[in-house]
Amino acid sequence: MDLDSLVRTSGEWLRGTGPDSDIVVSSRIRLARNLAQFPFPLRSDDSTRGEIVRMMRDRFGNLEDEAALHWFDVTGMNELDRQFMVERQLISRELADGRGPRGVCVSREQNISLMVNEEDHLRMQVLHSGFSLDESWEQINRIDDAVEGQVAFAFSDKFGYLTACPTNVGTGIRVSVMLHLPALVLTKEIQKVFQALQKISLAVRGLYGEGSQAMGDFYQISNQVTLGKSEEQILSNVKDVVPNIIAYERRVRNALVKENRRSLHDQISRAYGILRNAQTISSEETMHLLSSVRMGINLGLIDDIEIPTVNELFIHTQPAHLQKIRSETLQTAERNVARATYLRQRLAGDNGHAES
């Protein structure tokens, strides 16, 4: 597996096959861990970082249950390739922009990502389609146990797992669910959701996590607190809240159809038409229009395009993906033209059979 093969495939989490995948795009669990015998990455020199990379690359090769892992050397990647990996959700922005020796192990299904020398020595994540937190937890817990069987993690009997950022100390777990909430955004009900989540210490972030803006009506909801709570308690908190948001989004979608089906159908059909015919289009507009189309499919207003295709287009029309697909470096205006061409080609053959 190499970068070129990644360009030609899509991760399991984009297939739209998981539970409640009309609303929940993906579920992710990430664990932050550090090695007991080394200083944290920010206090390590390149020699130490290199030693950590070599050691963990060897250890990952011994994870028998996860045999299809492939190592990518992020240090030697150019900026475009690093951005591609960020867009694909395989590495964080921090790892992409970091310094010194660093890398990532990725599974063939692209649902496992084991980052080395990010903010912490290890950032291990599992990503699955739909509302699949139990499946994700079972898998990441197994990987964590297997890695801990080979190395000693920095751990305190009082505080738990020790991490570079105090907000991760304790379990070191970040549980997040990516939701598609176009109806709540359209009706401005989304602010009520934000306020309610803030009161129970759940964070709301954009498509690419911390520091990113919401695009295409996608929001990541995750825990903020790890210290003093068990993994099960944190999981339970997120699992209790997300179904309420799913039900809220569905109610609002159904109300929109019931109250003004023609207007909603027109908005969705126009979005689909622009995507199929535009000669130049920005990434932001593409995300907005694809969001409408995705909702239209799930409401039965469009029946000739499938959710996995739309999910894939959200990622493949991002700047780095577009340039990797075209095998050329493109400036903004050139990307906008190339994006429109790509959309027309991918959507060609769809005849716009929308139900009335």
User: 121, 41 in Cβ contact below 8 A?
Assistant: yes
Residue 229 CB neighbour total at 10 angstroms: 18
C-alpha–C-alpha distance, residues 352 and 236, integer Å: 42
What confidence score (pLDDT) does residue 353 get? 34
| pLDDT tens readout for residues 23-71 | 999 999 999 999 999 999 989 999 999 999 999 999 998 886 665 799 9
DSSP H or E segment with residue 115: strand 112-116
Where helices occur in the chain by DSSP H, the ranges are: 3-7, 46-60, 79-87, 93-97, 133-148, 182-186, 190-199, 231-277, 283-298, 307-316, 319-326, 332-347
CATH number given to 3-178:
3.30.590.10
What confidence score (pLDDT) does residue 67 get? 57
C-alpha–C-alpha distance, residues 196 and 177, integer Å: 16
Q: First vs last Cα of the chain: how many Å apart?
A: 45
Structure tokens at 247: 């039900």
| pLDDT tens readout for residues 231-252 | 999 999 999 999 999 999 999 9
User: 214, 171 in Cβ contact below 8 A?
Assistant: no
pTM: 0.89
What confidence score (pLDDT) does residue 65 get? 65
**Which ranges of the chain have pLDDT less than 70?**
64-67, 207-214, 349-356
- Residue at 18: amino acid letter: G
Domain ranges for the chain: 3-178, 249-347
User: 140, 29 in Cβ contact below 8 A?
Assistant: yes
User: 223, 237 in Cβ contact below 8 A?
Assistant: yes
- Residue at 273: amino acid letter: G
What confidence score (pLDDT) does residue 97 get? 94
- Residue at 196: amino acid letter: A
